[in-house]
Chain A
Amino acid sequence: MPEFTSRRGLLFGAAAVSTGAFLTACTSNEPSDKSEDKPSEAPVADDKPGKQVTIGFAGPQADHGWLNAINDNARSRAKKYSDVTLDITEGSNDAAAQIGQIDSLINKKVDVLVILPADGKAMTQAGLKAMRAGIPVINLDRIFSSPQAYRCWIGGDNYGMGLNAGHYIGEKLKDKKDAKVVELAGLDNLELTQQRTKGFDDALKNYPNIKKVARQAAEFTVESGQAKMAGLLQAQKNFDALWNHDDDQGVGALQAIQQAGRDDFLMVGGAGAASAFEHIEKDDGVLKATVLYPPTMAASAIDLARALGQAKGIGGMAEFEIPSSVTLYSAVVDKTNVAQYKPTGFK
């Protein structure tokens, strides 16, 4: 009975659509009298320079320094351009809540969406929905599980972070016999932590004299950094180098090192916090370098979104279009180049 099936399908479809419409209507937290910001209907227009672009920005709740820096970078970059209007949502760590916020941005018909999802896999549908509605998506850092859910992905390189940290430590210790290395990882149930560790291990394979003797996973918080580092120091009475995945937890780790009165190894951090840069610049302890995971990527995402909204390519590349994927380099910042990176440090 094909008619029956299709009728049922039709009914079901209609129900789904109306439920969806109802839900999206309910999720908008924005006052409705903002219509003067509303851009023209067409999401992609002619290539006239300086065309007004409204960029919708949805990120997670800025509950730690790096995410806070992401928001700051996006805001200040957008302010730099007179032709960019930034519509930034209140961040949320709840995937469902963030999907609602993205829906409201879609309803407002922004020209381009920049999305840093709370959870890339769980929020792929939100990216797909925006793309289907004709709003191109710049996927920031945490990647959606389908390439159809974004026009361009830009983000950091977790594997590369581990790789560069491993190579830096490897070069420092390459002449030392039976060198021992310790790793203080981030939150273990995140894929990015596994990637960082894999990169680190792969780099160390190039140095047969170096052995990783211990690894503990902290939780990106100062408190966990202190507790786990104190345990590691007690367990490992002598080692030559430490890689700590994250400078926020590094504040706690450094305090644990001070409390234990240890200074017999070199430490490399991760992410690029202002406090880490200060220690590196002053050279006042074990912390000698940190591997970047640059929050400036949010500024670059605004640049990409603007170019996309104005249907242009980006400077320095021959193509008419922006690339579909940009992986940022995790530079090693040590005493020699810290002055250059200091302004990008987050608190």
Chain B
Amino acid sequence: MTTPASKADQDGREAATVLAAPKEPSKPSSRRLTFFRADTQTLSLLGVLIALIVAGGITKPDNFLAVDNFQLMITQASVIGVVTVGMTFVIISGGIDLSVGAIVALASVWATTVATQEFGFWGILFTAILVGVACGLVNGVLIAFGRMVPFIATLAMLASARGLALQITDGSTQSVTVTSVVELNYKDSYVLGIPPLALIFAGVAVIGWLVLNRTTFGRRTVAVGGNDEAARLAGIDVRRQRLYVYLLSGLCCGIAAFMLIALTSSGQNTNGNLYELDAIAACIIGGTLLSGGRGTIVGAVLGVLIFQTITNIFYLNNLETATQQIAKGAIIVVAVLVQNRTSRNQTT
């Protein structure tokens, strides 16, 4: 095993070599192993997803295997999907962000006040993103420079952002009257049959993948999560890197808030309820280590899609919510057990 320090040292250069020749046996490095491991993980996740699609196809062939159902599934997965991309960065850096749901709620109500709606489409989009980034900045500063434990800092943000969201709305549902936002995801707005929200999700996921795998920023995030002391010795500004990942998570929450506004045509302080748990669950079944230093965007996206497919199959078969929750819990356990097994097989 090479240390994360040397990993960080070589930064993006190494990634480029690895990606160019991932299966070259003569140069053993932890990076290469990680890539290989992520690959089997991705394959097993894809297997689960395909198995679910087969199950859906068997139980409800007409409704499940229809174009509009896949359009629907991706639309419904898109909001939590964008949040999960940001969460993946935070967890890889060795942190956790419990405030994502609350930030989505705050951004969505702030962006749908009567005053904001006067500025139309761009006003709503700008406000949602600005609020998300600002919350992420507060999280990042508290954690990086205030030396607070991420769990505590983001828990505090969870409480206060939800409180502020409630104070802004006074508990009422803020309906959006800006037509371009309300009709953003109507059938007429589909681009070549793809729902606009799905496009945003895809865009965020691709950019997230590029940033994590092809940039210095991504390498540094992995290095900080793997061993922050070694990363510091290797010359990485660990605190600044921490600040950046929470900013990134906040940005994703802002985008997600805007998408949720378009999806529900309203802002409500209950928005984003338990998003933190859904996002963390998707990251984990996607193979991201909670202790940091390892994780993939592809896995996280597959995790989100798997959960959404289960939900969809349950809807189509008219099963109750309680059963859905049990199935969700079971999937998390099975996924993590399988991952433990594959990673043990690889290290021996």
Contacts and interface: CB of A to CB of B under 8 A. Distances in A.
* Chain A residues touching B, majority SS: helix
A231 B314 CA distance: 9
Contacts of B171: 62-65, 67-68
Interface string A200-242: 0000000000000111110111111111101110110100000
B321 A188 contact: yes
A248 interface: yes
A273 B173 contact: yes
B264 A251 contact: yes
Nearest to A250: B173
Given A216-B315, A251-B264, A347 B60 contact: no
> How many B residues touch the partner, as a band?
35 or more
A275 interface: yes
A188 B320 contact: yes
Interface in B238-276: 260, 263-266, 268-273
Interface string B160-176: 00000010001111010
B127 interface: no
Contact of B322 (A188, A223, A261): A188
B187 interface: yes
Contact of A222 (B63, B185, B264): B264
Given A216-B321, A259-B185, A261-B186, A235 B269 contact: no
B72 A230 contact: yes
A88 B281 CA distance: 41
Nearest to A188: B321
A275 B263 CA distance: 17
A221 B76 contact: no
Nearest to A214: B318
Contacts of A27: none
A243 to B, nearest CB: 15
A120 interface: no
Nearest to B189: A259
A258 B264 contact: no
B42 interface: no
Contact of A231 (B68, B270, B315): B315
Interface of A: 61-65, 67-68, 188, 213-217, 219-228, 230-232, 234-235, 237, 248, 251-252, 254-255, 258-261, 273, 275, 346-347
Interface of B: 60, 63, 68-69, 72, 75-76, 166, 170-173, 175, 182-183, 185-187, 260, 263-266, 268-273, 311-312, 315-318, 320-322
Q: Which 10 A-B pairs rank lowest in CB-CB distance, beginning with the nearest?
A: A231-B315, A347-B172, A68-B171, A221-B270, A255-B265, A62-B171, A222-B264, A235-B316, A252-B264, A65-B172
